[in-house]
């Protein structure tokens, strides 16, 4: 059976067992190593990618179940000529990354969260991070960076609105 899906905007085919975890297809077949294989049991979130725009743990997802879907990995998250997604850039600017093992998954989860929750409160940001384990940072600086990012985005939107009044 051949599984066909979009991968970072390009058509992609996989010809082997459709029960192969998407994570293994990405890392071993497509050489996209941003999604990390840490627990492989759905606990840590390090393998998170977007499937049709929603965060999913790729270690638990048989590739056959993404047939016809659009998969985005951390390598394909930024758009246009930007090297980084704006949230990645905010993390870099705030110097929150330590070993970095959790961060691709963290960015995939939180980029979808900030897209869908531009008014999120600090407790809501904490809840959104529940599926992503970080062994280094203590989380607080990541939460600060997300809150700052949302505040900057909001201020930018308000400034644009004011300019059009
Ligand atoms: S490697 Fe997938 S959740 Fe940990
Ligand atoms: S920065 Fe090391 S696990 Fe999160």
Query: Which pLDDT tens digit goes with each residue over 80-109?
Result: 788 899 999 999 999 999 999 999 999 999
138 in contact with ligand 2, CB cutoff 6 A: no
The tally of domains found in the chain comes to 2
Q: Judge if pTM exceeds 0.75.
A: yes
Same domain, 62 and 92: no
Same domain, 158 and 90: yes
Task: Tell me which of 129, 136, 140, 145 to substitute to probe ligand 2's pocket, judged by most ligand atoms within 8 Å of the beta carbon.
Answer: 136
Relative to the CA of 44, which ligand 1 atom is closest? 4
Blockwise average pLDDT, block size 10, the chain, 165 residues:
95 96 97 97 98 98 98 92 90 92 97 96 96 94 95 87 79
Q: Looking at the domain assignment, is residue 43 inside a domain?
A: yes
- List the residue whose alpha carbon is closest to atom 1 of ligand 1: 40
Domain of residue 126, CATH code: 1.10.150.120
Same domain, 37 and 71: yes
Domain of residue 10, CATH code: 3.10.20.30
Which amino acids bring their CB within 6 angstroms of ligand 1?
A: 37-40, 42-47, 57, 59
Range of the domain at 30: 3-76
Vertex 109: Cα angle to 149 and 17 (nearest 5) = 155
Reference 60, options 107, 17, 20; nearest CA is: 20
d(CA 18, CA 76): 23
Which residue do the tokens 């850039």 mark? 89
Among residues 46, 76, 106, the one where a domain terminates is 76
Reference 46, options 56, 36, 32; nearest CA is: 36
Query: Which pLDDT tens digit goes with each residue over 5-18?
Result: 999 999 999 999 99
């Amino acid at each position: 059976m051949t599984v066909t899906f979009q991968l970072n905007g390009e058509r992609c085919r996989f010809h082997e067992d459709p029960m192969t975890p998407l994570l293994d297809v990405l890392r071993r077949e497509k050489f996209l190593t941003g999604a990390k294989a840490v627990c492989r049991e759905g606990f840590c979130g390090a393998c998170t990618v977007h499937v049709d725009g929603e965060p999913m743990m790729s270690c638990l997802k048989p590739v056959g179940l993404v047939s016809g879907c659009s998969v985005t990995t951390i390598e394909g998250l930024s758009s246009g000529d930007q090297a980084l997604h704006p949230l990645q850039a905010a993390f870099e600017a705030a110097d929150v990354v330590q070993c970095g093992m959790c961060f691709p998954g963290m960015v995939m989860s939180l980029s979808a969260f900030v897209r869908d929750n531009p008014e999120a409160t600090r407790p809501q940001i904490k809840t959104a991070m529940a599926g992503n384990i970080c062994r280094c940072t203590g989380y607080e600086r990541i939460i600060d960076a997300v809150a700052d990012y949302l505040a900057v985005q909001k201020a930018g939107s308000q400034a644009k609105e004011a300019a059009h009044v």
